Structure formats: C-alpha cells, structure tokens
Amino acid sequence: MDSRTIKPAPLWQSLCFFGISSILIITNLYVIMPHLLASGIPFLTGYFILFYTPFLLLFVTEIIFYKRNIRKLSWESFKGYFRIKKLNRKTLFWTIGLFLFWLVSFFGLGFTQKLIAEIPFFNPPSYFPPEINPLKSMVSGELMGTPLEGNWWIIIVCTIGWFFNIFGEELLFRGYLLPRQEMKYGKHAWIINGVLWTLWHSFWRWQLIPLFFTCMSLSFVAQKTQSTLPGIIVHGVLNFIPIIMMITWLF
C-alpha cells in the first residue's frame, strides 16, 4: 500500500475503531442476551447472532474502506491495501515464533482466568456457559448447552463466524489501522495497537492477563514484518482448534 494514499490515525480515531465494536459486543452479550434467554432462545443461538454480527460489521467496514479508496479492484490491490504479503523466510520465522509464543503465553497463563473470574468485578455472568466461563465445568458432547450430536449446522455456523472473526479483526485492526498508526506513532505504533486490542477484549475481562501478551506480540509481529499474514495464520489456526475438536467429537 502506498503510504502517500493514507493519512495518520490520531488516538481518537484508533479509540473509535476499537471502542465502538467492543462496546457493541459487550452490549450484545451483557444487556441483550439476558432478554433473549428470558424469551426462551437457547444461549448458543443468541451467541451466534449477538457475538458474530459485530465481526461481520468489521468485515463490511474494511471492504467499504477498500472500495472507497481503491479505484482498481483486484486481488493484487486487495493484498496490497491490507498488507497481505507473501510468506517469505523472514515472515515464516516470525509466524512460527508468534505461534509458539501464543501457545506458551495463553495456555501457560490460562490458570489466571479462574483466579481473575473469582474476583467480583471480573466474574462472568451466571448465564455464561462453561465454554466462556472458567468457573463452570465443561460438559462433553455439548456446545453452550446445545448437544452436538446430529447438529452439523453448528460446525457450519462456527466456521462462518470464524471467518468473519479472523478476517474482520486482522484486516481492519492490522491491515487498515496499523499502517495509519505507524504514520502517527512510528516504531511505537504496535504498542498502541496492542494495548487497544487487549482492552477491546474487555468482554472477556477474566482473560485479560494472557490476552495482553498475545495481543501485544501479534501487533509487534505485524509491524515488524509489515504484513498481516502472520496474524491471520496464527490467530486463525488457534481459533479454529475448537472447531476441529467439535468435528472430531462428531465423528
């Protein structure tokens, strides 16, 4: 992407990008969800609607920005606009390192989730199922209270949601916003991006300790490599693991 065609992103703009979508998810899960449950809608159905819709909006937003700023629409221009660069030796090295760091930091610090969740201000709502509530025990063969057996549609919806989750976050936050933050903050842009992305996850407030390390490291690698590809790969692979586990269970 030609730096001459973009403008620096001031802090208020960065706050808007991260803040609006995060507030929307928080409102959906903590305000609207109880009303859906009271009306008899299963948690999983409500979760699919309320949690994945903001990611769809992130994806639509980045496509609108792309179409507004690029006259010639093509795969090459799309890759250039969102910094999806070829996976060369250097990028591959950083991708593998990021993947290993995520495994160690997120799963190694996973025990902190339950400790933080036990603090009154940070504990999850009682209606949150064990998949997103570390204070509850997982139930084999279920996803958020809905049996997996015979429900292949769950895998399909999860995969669609995964797509908008990964490409909504990575292309907008690292592909679109980070280059503009770099113009404003230079070599420190990844810090701004990483901190805001960590706070963006406040809807999982009991996970903020491990999330801090994963968010900061991904933003660092994205700026170091000048590519969104490492983040797309690592973020995508780890977020797809639960879907693979569900498919394995169904078989």
Report yes or no: 43 and 37 within 8 Å, Cβ to Cβ: yes
pTM: 0.94
pLDDT in tens, 119-141: 999 999 999 999 999 999 999 89
User: Is the four-CA dihedral 24, 235, 222, 3 of positive or negative sign?
Assistant: negative
pLDDT in tens, 133-162: 999 999 989 999 999 998 999 999 999 999
The total of structural domains in the chain comes to: 1
pLDDT in tens, 187-231: 999 999 999 999 999 999 999 999 999 999 999 999 999 999 999
Instruction: Give the mean model confidence (pLDDT) for residues 25-33.
Output: 98
Q: Which domain holds residue 129?
A: 3-250
Element (H, E) at 143: strand 142-143
Q: What is the pLDDT of residue 83?
A: 96
Report yes or no: 136 and 26 within 8 Å, Cβ to Cβ: no
pLDDT in tens, 72-83: 789 999 999 999
